Structure 1
Amino acid sequence: MSKKQAIKVMSTLASYRIMIPVTVFVYSEFAEEWPDLVKSWATTYNIGLRGTHPYPPGNFEKMSPNWIREAVVSAELLLHELGIIPMYYLFDSVEDDKNVIEVLTKRGFRIIRPESNFPPKFKHTLTVDNYYKFRDVERVPKALRVIYEQLKAANGGILSLNTNLPDTFMNLVFLLDYLVENSGSSLTSLDNCIT
């Protein structure tokens, strides 16, 4: 995550008029660089793991099982040193990979695969024509529509917002009001979502 973007997003969540149940997924290198920041988030929100650092898409899954295990264990131990016990791992890949899943399950992680991602990982990919050529005030409704369609198709579920997308902060402001006031959905923590 970018520290600047992450702080903007987390400040928006913290200042919202009701408590929003959120799990913040961090790379361990981010936690190592900004330990006080991550520890302050952990007082209010669940902290989950995204791994040690971002790999180029699809490369983590191609590594040998020993490298995968080393990456997961080192990331987990670093958060333990900060007094944070991560229970959830945000699975970045869109494809199942038995080596990654085996390592995560043996370490006791609950693997999170969101029903809705922004930016999207499946269809509705953001392109110049359908998203980026528009002004930010025009992109927000487009983003909310994509999120709404993904959640509606899955009949609710877990929503993942990537703080590295510059629009995430602006989208979040409007998304909170939509989810709380208009969607008819109830917001709940991951602990209640997963049985």
Structure 2
Amino acid sequence: MNHQCVKKEGESRVSIIIEVGMNAKTARVLIETIHAYEKHVPLTLFVYGDFVELYPELITEWSKEYEIGIRGSSPLPRNLWALQNYGIQRLSVVSAEMKLSKLGLTAAYIFPPEFGETVALVASERNLRMINSTVTLPPRSGSLTFETYFKYEDVKRTPKALRIIHEALVHSGGILSLDSDFPDSQMTSIFLLDYLYEVSNHKITSLRECIGVE
């Protein structure tokens, strides 16, 4: 499982990935916001097979600028993916691959809904690199989690989120994921990019360069 960037000549690297949900509008807004940033930001977008089927033109448009990975066939209630057996998880992955292939695209990466031995086996059999993130928005641990995030006022959430992201990446860099269905991702991304490019010493790279794929 890849969840860190390979250091090159002591250089700290950060790669940004987008976990695209089923809301095409919020996904487009987030990606267009990042695309409009004054510097080119390499992204890898992870999509569900059902999203590909519903919005093929959007996927084709994105693929001209960004690499496309898969998440599985469709979203499941939290913690349900890990309970599925090998056959169901494999079917989900193959279905997502096939829907991409109809657009002439081949997935090289998978960011599954949850991680475990079963999906690792499926990914290995399908020659997919399984990607995890070093840190996410919304954060999955610390003072901000899915359960506690909105207990803070919006003017306090963004600085707290940026601090958690900074602490996770400051020493070694890594892979940062943004959830396109999460309402704060678009606003926070603006401040996040300023931090990454103007304040931090990280080199912002593509996922391919991050994990050392030639």
The two structures have a TM-score, normalised by structure 2, of 0.84
Tell me the residue number matched to 1:17.
38
Amino acid at match of 1:170: M
Q: Are 2:162 and 1:141 equivalent residues in the alignment?
A: no
Tell me the residue number matched to 2:71.
50
**2:139/2:161 contact within 8 Å kept:** no
Structure 1 residue aligned with 2:129, among 110, 114, 126?
Answer: 110
Q: Deviations over 1:111-160 (max 9, x none)?
A: 001111111223334367x642433232211111121122236x210001
Q: How far apart are the structure 1 equivalents of 2:66 and 2:30?
A: 13
Secondary structure at 2:173 match in 1: coil
Tell me the residue number matched to 1:62.
83
Q: How far apart are the structure 1 equivalents of 2:55 and 2:210?
A: 29
Tell me the residue number matched to 2:179.
162
Amino acid at match of 1:180: Y
Tell me the residue number matched to 2:95.
74
Q: 4+ residue runs of structure 1 moved beyond 2 angstroms? A: 121-128, 133-138
Q: How far apart are the structure 1 equivalents of 2:106 and 2:146?
A: 38
> How many Å apart are 1:59 and its aligned residue?
1.5
More helix by share: 1
> How many Å apart are 1:13 and its aligned residue?
1.5
**1:131/1:142 contact within 8 Å kept:** no
Higher RCO (CA 8 Å, separation ≥ 6 residues): 2
The two structures have a TM-score, normalised by structure 1, of 0.91
Q: Are 2:46 and 1:28 equivalent residues in the alignment?
A: no
> How many Å apart are 1:54 and its aligned residue?
1.1
Q: How far apart are the structure 2 equivalents of 1:173 and 1:84?
A: 30
Tell me the residue number matched to 2:15.
none
Q: Quick check: 117-126 or 12-21, which moved more?
A: 117-126
Structure 2 unaligned segments of length 5 or more: list them: 1-20
Q: How far apart are the structure 2 equivalents of 1:70 and 1:131?
A: 34
Amino acid at match of 1:122: S
How much identity, in percent, do the aligned residues show? 38
> How many Å apart are 1:4 and its aligned residue?
1.4
Q: How far apart are the structure 1 equivalents of 2:146 and 2:125?
A: 38
Task: From the superposition, tell whether residues 59 and 133 of structure 1 become closer, same or farther in structure 2 (CA, over 3 Å).
Answer: closer
Structure 1 unaligned segments of length 5 or more: list them: none
> How many Å apart are 1:66 and its aligned residue?
0.9
Task: From the superposition, tell whether residues 69 and 133 of structure 1 become closer, same or farther in structure 2 (CA, over 3 Å).
Answer: closer
**1:126/1:132 contact within 8 Å kept:** no
Q: CA RMSD in A?
A: 1.6
Amino acid at match of 1:172: S
